[in-house]
Structure 1
Amino acid sequence: MNVMVLIVAIAVVAWGLTALLRRYALARSLMDIPNARSSHSQPTPRGGGVAIVVAFLLGLCVASATGLDLPAEIYYSLLGSGSAIALLGFLDDHGHIAARWRLLGHFAAAAWALFWLGGLPPLVILGHSVDFGWSGYLLASLYLVWLLNLYNFMDGIDGIASIEAICVCLGGALLYVLHGYTDAAVLPLLLSFAVAGFLYWNFPPAKIFMGDAGSGFLGVVLGVLSLQAAWIDQSLLWGWLILLGIFVVDATFTLLRRLLRGDKVYEAHRSHAYQYASRQFGRHLPVTLAVAAINLCWLLPVAVWVAQGGDGLIGLLLAYLPLIVLAIKFRAGELERK
């Protein structure tokens, strides 16, 4: 099957499934009701991220079945870990699952993904090659679990998680093309178009929310794709980490600040920088569009510079520094003033 036909078809599938899920949620009163910790003010259907899951996994299976040169390790890694996290999130969306069981499921999914991927490859850090060995499995599992959780934390205003995924995937696909690995660009393109179909319904003001099934799925799939990139060419991992910078910096900075203050970090809150920014501007749209602009105008050029021979760690620090400044400016992790 032609790749362009496949990715456009996946976008249409995601769009149509989201419409059906919205009708289902409205009929069954599966609504996200605003509360003191919400960033929205109107009851809104939830669970639309299931459309992203179904559309992407369908595209993954079609790509494999039609001979698009999809390595078995990435196919089974994505299929197993993505399905498990989506199912866990779906169950949590429809009835609370204790945090310890969710976390156990997250690590089990990460272990499955890493069984197929092989942990972390040797990385060049400041000119020195570092072979992580078995510790690479531990570091990679922590990375995957943190990424899927932070993606859930950052899915708090209309369109932001969708815009971030699209920008990261399109940027990752561009890095592959620049390196000459055009076949590897298929998977991030598939994911970006699946999310684009959902974004039609999630763009501010959102007509349906993603839910934990969608946000957790996006987090783990982006994590797996970034680790796959490391095995293709280690400089590509730095590029993916740079592209993920907005979510990584905001979520990590906020978590550390709340930990230092002694907060219960598993409790819901609205103290991320993007949440403060949306309240300051009085709307979600300016913040969501700013995320797209930062990705395209700042993080992508830095990632391209690293892909063309720049030092990965220096590029990462260069990319993250302005994001840390923004996190401080928009009070990430601070207690909300009464």
Structure 2
Amino acid sequence: MLGRLQLSDVGLLVTIGIVSAALCSGILALLLRTGWAWDIAVDIPNHRSLHERPIPRVGGWGVLPTAVLAIVLFAPSLRWIAASAVLLGVVSQIDDRQGLPARVRFAAHVLAVAVAVVAGANGISWWFAIVVGVALVWLVNLYNFMDGSNGLAGGMTLFGFATYALAASSTHGELASICAAVAGAAVGFLLFNFQPARVFLGDMGSIPLGFLAGALGYWGWQHGAWPVWMPPLVFAPFIADATVTLLRRLARGERFWEAHRQHYYQRLVQMTGSHVRVALTYGALMLCGSVLAITATRTTTAMQWTMCIAWYGVLAVVGLCIDAKWRHWSRAAG
């Protein structure tokens, strides 16, 4: 069970978050003001896009350096996480710029995750290490899949890593500081990504962030910062959306790696015509999950798992409601 938070702990984390937000936003402002953002990578809309004009994909240029700097300053012993995140950032930037074969991207994901699982292991059995590895590779990719609407991935990063920071603050200050920095970087990015979006996160941002969510979540569990259910609960709205969508596409025999507009959040944007409303809806779900996660740590183990499973049950009901509205909307529009 986590100890009681001290005001000094929270104050330090908030300060780290503010400085990180300023650093991230400063980098992005520089890229936009100089015009370099348009030379780095640009997202050109197509028939599957939810936006209508070209937008620079440079959010990762602000978020990734901020996260790596936080690791170097606050937890140099976790430099293997920083190195793996940089590797993913470089590969993803090349993909943003000119495209890479799926097998090359996937190989980089597997390599980074393998390093995370082996380096962060603390008495884990080999078979469960494989399970964790598969889960982390999926988290890396689903983060990218869910980065398709203004404010969505940035909001997920803010709430998810802020919850990590609070959960670890009383027992693992270094880990909490890193997570606070990532949450702050998300704020800096959201200043340019919320409606109207001036930059997108891009693969250079979404892929390393998915890795950090998984690698730090795994390390925190292995070293006693939080229980194993914490990361799946904190990121539940995005895990549920991406996983259900993947399973449905596999069941239909579709090429799941190809771009599409079948995620729940994509359908909500099409039905409501509002990126802001969808971002706020998912933000509310993330906030509820965060409060639930922090509250659950103060209960018994049985209650913790009950709350986690119940939350996924709530999300299932939300998904069914969206499905029903989508069917009605599709018939009316068609």
Q: TM-score, normalised by structure 1?
A: 0.86
Other-structure match for 1:57: 68
Q: In structure 1, what is the Cα distance between the partners aligned to 2:257 and 2:100?
A: 13
Other-structure match for 1:125: none
Deviation at 1:301?
A: 2.9
1:304 matched to 2:278? The reply is no
Other-structure match for 2:25: 15
Give a deviation string over 1:12-64, Cα, whole Å, max 9, x none: 1111111223343555384312111001122212122221001111222122x
Give a deviation string over 1:252-297, Cα, whole Å, max 9, x none: 000001101111111110100001011111110011011111122x
Deviation at 1:324?
A: 1.7
CA RMSD of aligned residues (A): 2.3
**Could you tell me whether the CA contact under 8 Å between 1:22 and 1:46 is conserved in 2?**
no
Other-structure match for 1:185: 176
Of residues 261, 270, 281 in structure 1, which corresponds to 2:272?
281
Q: In structure 1, what is the Cα distance between the partners aligned to 2:293 and 2:221?
A: 14
Letter in 2 for 1:152: N
Deviation at 1:4?
A: 5.6
3-state SS of paired residue (1:237):
coil
Other-structure match for 1:45: 56
1:165 matched to 2:175? The reply is no
Of residues 84, 106, 110 in structure 2, which corresponds to 1:107?
110
Q: Structure 1 183/273 Cα, relative in aligned 2: closer, same or farther at 3 Å? A: same
Q: Structure 1 269/88 Cα, relative in aligned 2: closer, same or farther at 3 Å? A: same
**Could you tell me whether the CA contact under 8 Å between 1:10 and 1:194 is conserved in 2?**
yes
Deviation at 1:10?
A: 2.2
Q: Structure 1 77/323 Cα, relative in aligned 2: closer, same or farther at 3 Å? A: farther
Q: In structure 1, what is the Cα distance between the partners aligned to 2:100 and 2:311?
A: 36
List aligned pairs for 1:261-276, cutoff 5 A.
261-276=252-267
Letter in 1 for 2:285: I
1:154 matched to 2:154? The reply is no
Of residues 190, 208, 232 in structure 2, which corresponds to 1:241?
232
Q: Structure 1 299/53 Cα, relative in aligned 2: closer, same or farther at 3 Å? A: same
Q: Structure 1 3/295 Cα, relative in aligned 2: closer, same or farther at 3 Å? A: closer
Which stretch shifts more, 85-94 or 231-240?
Answer: 231-240
**Could you tell me whether the CA contact under 8 Å between 2:58 and 2:201 is conserved in 1?**
yes
**Could you tell me whether the CA contact under 8 Å between 2:16 and 2:180 is conserved in 1?**
no
List aligned pairs for 1:29-108, cutoff 5 A.
30-63=41-74, 70=75, 72=77, 75-108=78-111
% identical aligned pairs = 30
Number of aligned residue pairs:
315
Give a deviation string over 1:52-100, Cα, whole Å, max 9, x none: 001111222122xxxxxx372xx12321221111111111001111111
1:225 matched to 2:216? The reply is yes
Give a deviation string over 1:201-236, Cα, whole Å, max 9, x none: 011221110100100011000101111121232753
Q: In structure 2, what is the Cα distance between the partners aligned to 1:197 and 1:234?
A: 26
Q: In structure 2, what is the Cα distance between the partners aligned to 1:266 and 1:208?
A: 24
Structure 1 unaligned residues grouped into runs of 5+? 64-69, 122-131
3-state SS of paired residue (2:228):
helix
1:327 matched to 2:319? The reply is yes
Q: In structure 2, what is the Cα distance between the partners aligned to 1:15 and 1:215?
A: 17
Letter in 2 for 1:37: R
Deviation at 1:182?
A: 4.2
Deviation at 1:309?
A: 2.5
Deviation at 1:7?
A: 3.9
Of residues 124, 132, 157 in structure 2, which corresponds to 1:140?
132
**Could you tell me whether the CA contact under 8 Å between 1:85 and 1:216 is conserved in 2?**
yes
Q: Structure 1 11/236 Cα, relative in aligned 2: closer, same or farther at 3 Å? A: same
3-state SS of paired residue (1:267):
coil
Give a deviation string over 1:167-208, Cα, whole Å, max 9, x none: 01111222224x544443111101101121111101122111
Letter in 1 for 2:112: A
Other-structure match for 2:3: none
Q: In structure 2, what is the Cα distance between the partners aligned to 1:27 and 1:100?
A: 27
Other-structure match for 1:252: 243
3-state SS of paired residue (2:323):
coil
Other-structure match for 2:8: none
Other-structure match for 1:315: 307
Q: In structure 2, what is the Cα distance between the partners aligned to 1:214 and 1:268?
A: 18
**Could you tell me whether the CA contact under 8 Å between 2:20 and 2:184 is conserved in 1?**
yes
Which stretch shifts more, 245-254 or 196-205?
Answer: 196-205
Q: Structure 1 136/274 Cα, relative in aligned 2: closer, same or farther at 3 Å? A: same
1:28 matched to 2:39? The reply is yes
Q: In structure 2, what is the Cα distance between the partners aligned to 1:26 and 1:52?
A: 14
